[in-house]
């Protein structure tokens, strides 16, 4: 039952429409998929995604694949995947940083270990607390009327009642006006949040956040550059609307500094930023102990990566801002034969052994580079 081989592929999946952030517009999302096979032929699968090559962070898809293959995989062969915690601890002694690559490998180990024991992955992570979690959707047409129409239709379908708007590109106050018109249209039927993706300076943030707060927006995500902890602290002290750290909230050390200096009132969890599933739970524990609220973030993963996130987030007591694992809804196609279920304003935790997803290897071969 020990590990015999590891294979890693880069996959490009087209989206149903452009997804705009301040640093990049996604029309084709790149993900990295790993499969870890044991000597009996059982396979554990995992996925991580990044945004715009090197535009979001330092871990490009090509670097994730190369560093995992060269520096991490040699520490896996012949090992028992059920010892995934020990394996990743040993890897950390030899591999610095590379949180995306570590998260990719750890996920596949956990999927394989769970399959060997015929258990859902969340049972290896402490057991699930939630069967389903609130799910946000990003309104991204850029046209106020179209966004309002889309929001009302999704409310009617009972698919989403949390909407995020990316407002890091263009004139800040025009973007604020766009958001407030949507909020006025949906009223109390939906919660609205915004994501600035580090695009504002502190002066701009003061004017924009004041207007958004008065207009009923419930959260402002990463308004300032990720390094500006002091600026984030001043915004957190100044406003009662939640100031969320995302790009500036990565591993346990950064979360500790955010908690210590109050450089945010909430954080976005992302498995790849933290360095793995277990590290994500560690990060969440630090935040919860400091009274910092949690959001189950996404890097726009496909159904496999979203299922991995759900198995982790389902084990956390509180996610005050819900989740945004909407990636599978944004892609034109899927790498799995089964789908994640979105209904009643929630995303439902996949059941079955491992992460509960079955890979369509024909689709994987079609979309891989």
Both tokens of 353, joined, read 């052994």
Coil/strand/helix, residue 223: coil
Where do the DSSP E strands lie in 132-255?
132-134, 136-139, 162-166, 191-195, 219-221, 242-245
Integer distance in angstroms from the first to the last C-alpha of the chain? 30
CB-based contact 245:266 (threshold 8 Å) = yes
With left for phi above 0 and alpha for psi between -120 and 50, is residue 154 left, alpha or beta?
A: alpha
Catalytic site residues? Answer: 166, 324
Cross-sheet strand order for the sheet of 266-269: 136-139, 162-166, 191-195, 219-221, 242-245, 266-269, 293-296
Contact indicator for 354, 120 with CB cutoff of 8 Å: yes
Q: Which residue has the tokens 């995302």?
A: 246
Distant-in-sequence contacts of 340-345, Cβ < 8 A, 24+ apart:
340/303, 340/306, 340/307, 340/310, 342/135, 342/159, 343/158, 343/159, 344/132, 344/158, 345/134, 345/135, 345/158, 345/159, 345/160, 345/161, 345/162
Cα–Cα distance for residue pair 169/337, rounded to 1 Å: 36
Burial-class residue 210 by CB neighbours within 10 Å (0-12, 13-18, 19+).
middle
Q: Are 170 and 201 in contact (CB under 8 A)?
A: no
């Amino acid at each position: 039952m020990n590990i015999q081989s590891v294979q890693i592929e880069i996959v490009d999946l087209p989206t149903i429409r452009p997804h705009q952030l301040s640093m990049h517009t996604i029309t084709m999302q790149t993900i990295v998929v790993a499969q870890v096979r044991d000597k009996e032929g059982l396979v554990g699968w995992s996925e991580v995604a990044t945004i715009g090559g090197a535009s979001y962070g330092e871990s490009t898809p090509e670097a994730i694949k190369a560093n995992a293959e060269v520096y991490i995989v040699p520490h896996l062969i012949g090992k028992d995947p059920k010892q995934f915690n020990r394996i990743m601890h040993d890897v950390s002694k030899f591999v610095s940083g590379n949180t995306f690559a570590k998260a990719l490998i750890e996920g596949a180990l956990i999927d394989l270990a769970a399959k060997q024991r015929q258990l859902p992955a969340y049972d290896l992570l402490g057991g699930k607390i939630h069967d389903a979690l609130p799910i946000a959707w990003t309104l991204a047409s850029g046209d106020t009327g179209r966004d309002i129409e889309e929001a009302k239709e999704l409310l009617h379908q009972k698919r989403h009642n949390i909407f995020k708007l990316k407002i890091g590109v263009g004139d800040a106050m025009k973007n604020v006006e766009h958001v407030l018109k949507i909020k006025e249209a949906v009223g109390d039927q939906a919660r609205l949040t915004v994501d600035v993706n580090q695009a504002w300076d502190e002066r701009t943030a003061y004017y924009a956040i004041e207007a958004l707060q008065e207009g009923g927006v419930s959260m402002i995500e990463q308004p300032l550059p990720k390094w500006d902890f002091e600026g984030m602290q001043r915004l957190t002290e100044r406003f009662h609307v939640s100031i969320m750290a995302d790009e500036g909230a990565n591993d346990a050390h950064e979360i500790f500094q955010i908690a210590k200096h109050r450089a945010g009132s909430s954080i976005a969890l992302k498995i790849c930023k933290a360095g793995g599933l277990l590290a994500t739970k560690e990060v969440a524990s630090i935040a919860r102990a400091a009274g910092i609220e949690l959001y189950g973030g996404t890097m726009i993963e496909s159904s496999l990566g979203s299922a991995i996130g759900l198995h982790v987030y389902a084990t956390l007591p509180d996610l005050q801002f819900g989740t945004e694992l909407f990636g599978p809804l944004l892609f034109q196609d899927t790498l799995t034969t089964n789908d994640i279920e979105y209904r009643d304003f929630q995303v439902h935790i996949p059941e079955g052994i491992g992460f509960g997803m079955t890979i369509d290897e024909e689709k994987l071969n079609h979309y891989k580079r």
